[in-house]
Amino acid sequence: MPGIMKNKKLLSSVCFLFVFICALGAQNVTVKGNVTSKTDGQPVIGASVIETSSSANGTISDFDGNFSLTVPANATLKITYIGYKPITVKAAASVRVQLEEDTQMMEEVVVTGYTTQRKADLTGAVSVVNIEELQKKGENNPVKALQGRVPGMNITADGNPSGTATVRIRGIGTLNNNDPLYIIDGVPTKAGMHELNGNDIESIQVLKDAASASIYGSRAANGVIIITTKKGKEGSIKVNFDASVTARCIIPNRK
């Protein structure tokens, strides 16, 4: 009898261990999938596949667009690739993903000289300023608002809220003065942009190399700043109001 009871306990332990291992294995699933382009059906090489709940668990698609990743059974995968819209799918044994091109990203244009180029095809040294981030600074002078926003452009400003600022893009030259050429709505000017209302500016692009600014000739020796102002658009009327007050004050030196 003791031997039978001992065998029953051993059998129960083995069964429990077997069920536990099966349950543990059921918690994870190996996802095998394929990533292709929705436009032409070609495989997307190097697409990033990441578990949304754990950024450390991920992989990339191979030359044929295939990938394999072990994740929890209820996990969610996020597939991303440059130039395509990200997509999220539930984990399954087999997954087929078609990525759609992000036309807004690929068709974004940059003004270079008298022409425009797709940002994806741009090879020159051109910086595009994010106007939304610029307006968040609350700076009344748009030139001063550019400080720290464009690599390679040095701006020196005084403490006067309405004063001018010194802008240097390509260092100090010897031809004419050292100020960059400003193009406002297609019209070249040396007046600068400090008198413009920052809320009226739609886009700012800075041409820093000779290849991008060559069409302007010697006037562009110190770089070019292209400014496009806002224009009327079709649709319903929108009214925005923004006001600010700046006052000078001298803080007494208290000792």
**How confident is the prediction along the chain (255 residues), in pLDDT tens digits per residue?**
554 554 555 555 555 555 445 544 457 889 999 999 988 889 988 888 999 887 778 888 888 999 999 998 888 999 988 778 889 999 888 899 999 887 655 555 555 554 455 554 455 566 777 777 766 666 667 777 777 777 777 777 766 666 677 788 866 765 557 788 888 877 787 676 777 777 778 888 888 777 666 677 777 777 888 888 887 777 788 777 777 777 777 777 766
Residues 81 and 184 occupy one common structural domain: no
CATH number for the domain including 118? 2.170.130.10
The candidate with the shortest Cα–Cα distance to 186, out of 242, 228, 148, is 228
Q: What is the pLDDT of residue 109?
A: 53
Say if 194 falls within a structural domain.
yes
What's CA 203's distance to the chain center, in Å? 16
Question: Which residue reads 């923004």 in tokens?
Answer: 242
> In terms of residue numbers, what domain contains 184?
108-229
Give 132-169 pLDDT, tens digit per residue: 776 666 666 777 777 777 777 777 776 666 667 778 88
Q: Which of 102, 126, 142 is the last residue of a domain?
A: 102
Contact 35, 61 (CB under 8 A): yes
The number of folded domains in the chain is 2
Amino acid 25: pLDDT: 47
> 123-151 burial string, b = 16+ CB within 10 Å, else e?
ebbbbbbebeebeeeebebbbbbbbebbe
User: DSSP character for 10?
Assistant: H
Q: Which of 29, 60, 24 minimizes the C-alpha distance to 44? A: 60
In the prediction, which pLDDT does 77 show?
Answer: 92
Structure tokens at 28: 């994870």
Q: Would you state the pLDDT for residue 124?
A: 56
Structure confidence at residue 13 (pLDDT): 58
The answer to whether residues 189 and 170 belong to one domain is yes
CATH number at residue 32: 2.60.40.1120
Specify the DSSP element, H or E, that contains 181: strand 181-184
Q: Give a yes or no: residue 255 inside a domain.
A: no
Residues contacting residue 234 through CB under 8 Å, at least 6 positions apart: none
